[in-house]
Structure 1
């Protein structure tokens, strides 16, 4: 299971609050902690802990946070020899409410210095991986470049379209599996997936643009998948959430692992749900994963 991740690396500054702060409100935090994050890093660490051989293409800052982030990823089975060092390491300011919901402010830092040229220099790595994992916390042109190289080599390309934004058809045609949540799917298609009929309509829009399959993460409602031949629902794992930060990233990392080992799309989604369900019971986006997944 050789997986390459092209994406973001952040340091997460997490504040526990009674509720997500409202406009104009000042709120006391009950606790503060520092965790490793970034959607790309979260996904890579998940896949690495689940047994995949993971290489990472990205950037951290030339600072202490960057060194700490690299050490953390290496300790969790992610190779970082292709990670550059420039500027300041990306950061996320995260509020986590007593109910487990979160609100995030991103400072991209070095993540926005990941260039198409940096990606192209590592095309041999992309061509020899089994799967490529992508998100949208680095420049879109770099994401598009990576997807094109991997797709032309016949590799599985998984794109988590977060944070949501308009995506060019050139990119979507090279995506094997698109993994939006409900909000992201609505932003991509203009269709509010309030029920299965509208959900399938929205997925049809993405399939018509060339995406191979759509897997929609639906929180406590589980996940929905659809391609040109089948669709289905996978129930969520029932847990008491502590922190939902990184749940979607864990889902994507686990999905890539399951697909690389030969699982069907329904089996892979079920497995990804199980891993994401465990992650939300822990604080931080990169908890240690128990053996047995």
Structure 2
């Protein structure tokens, strides 16, 4: 069975859906409430598990009541959790407060991410006891975990493909990008000029730092990819957007699953676009999983760079 490791942040997301955002000293009544595990690595793992991949989440949860709620959701989604915090009841799993605008599906998030505590690094023995990965996704949170996992997989032969999730720049990315076979970046990702002098954009900066390929998402606009020699784009289907929470994470989880099954970067991007476009059509963090598309068959429609074509969701 194909195995992917997802290394990084887990949170507990408390999601409210409302008619609009409250102003200062204002209270609004939610039309819906959901509680689920969140975080880039955790959400990507949930997506990959729904796509039939054995998803292993290497993260820090602890044993407190918040962690128990997150773990129960991950168990229900068939994600295997390796918790480096173990039975530590005092480890503070972050709680994310999420508001989704009922009219647009856009979300606002307040979270401590990984800033509340330093997660310990897993030992080589711990990692060696896990199923051997075909792809390892690193989200840049919990740097000690990322460094330990990267050191471990660098010793495996053949070496698993490394996928980096770059939502926004973090200093640890200067260490992780040189190891990345694919850097999946958001349009907001910027490599500091002193780190990659001469970089013209996010993808160029990632390649200058050593990534073998880069993928850049632009919301509803085409996804761009390049390996420094070839480049192209994948059209994003036109769909009715109901909920954007976790759409990027769904893209990364599907990208990891496709790469683990041997797809090249263009085909993996096409599969990931189909999955992320499905995610935004459904309200709530987990309801969409019942509608995950089959991305193991013919590849999704692709557009040459600059065409801007879209196709209707089937």
The two structures have a TM-score, normalised by structure 1, of 0.85
Q: How does 1:219-258 map to 2 (within 5 A)?
A: 219-258=219-258
Q: CA RMSD in A?
A: 2.7
DSSP 3-state at the match of 1:88: coil
Where in structure 2 are there 5+ consecutive unaligned residues?
295-314
Matches of 1:108 and 1:271, distance apart in 2: 28
Matches of 1:234 and 1:221, distance apart in 2: 9
Shift of 1:229: 2.3
Matches of 1:85 and 1:26, distance apart in 2: 40
Given the alignment of the two structures, is residue 269 of structure 1 paired with residue 291 of structure 2, yes or no?
no
Given the alignment of the two structures, is residue 60 of structure 1 paired with residue 64 of structure 2, yes or no?
no
Matches of 1:119 and 1:16, distance apart in 2: 41
DSSP 3-state at the match of 1:107: coil
Matches of 1:67 and 1:276, distance apart in 2: 28
Show the counterpart of 2:81: 80
Shift of 1:162: 3.2
Distance 1:25 1:239, change over 3 A: farther
Show the counterpart of 1:204: 204
DSSP 3-state at the match of 2:191: helix
Show the counterpart of 1:13: 14
Given the alignment of the two structures, is residue 96 of structure 1 paired with residue 100 of structure 2, yes or no?
yes
User: Could you tell me whether the CA contact under 8 Å between 1:59 and 1:111 is conserved in 2?
Assistant: no
Shift of 1:171: 1.9
Show the counterpart of 2:150: 147
Work out which of the residue numbers 126, 132, 137 in structure 2 matches 1:133: 137
Where in structure 1 are there 5+ consecutive unaligned residues?
191-197
Shift of 1:75: 2.2
The answer to which structure has the higher helix fraction is 1
Show the counterpart of 1:194: none
Matches of 1:111 and 1:126, distance apart in 2: 27
- Name the count of aligned residue pairs: 282
Distance 1:267 1:142, change over 3 A: same
Matches of 2:110 and 2:169, distance apart in 1: 14
Q: How does 1:27-38 map to 2 (within 5 A)?
A: 27-36=27-36, 37-38=38-39
Work out which of the residue numbers 110, 122, 125 in structure 1 matches 2:126: 122
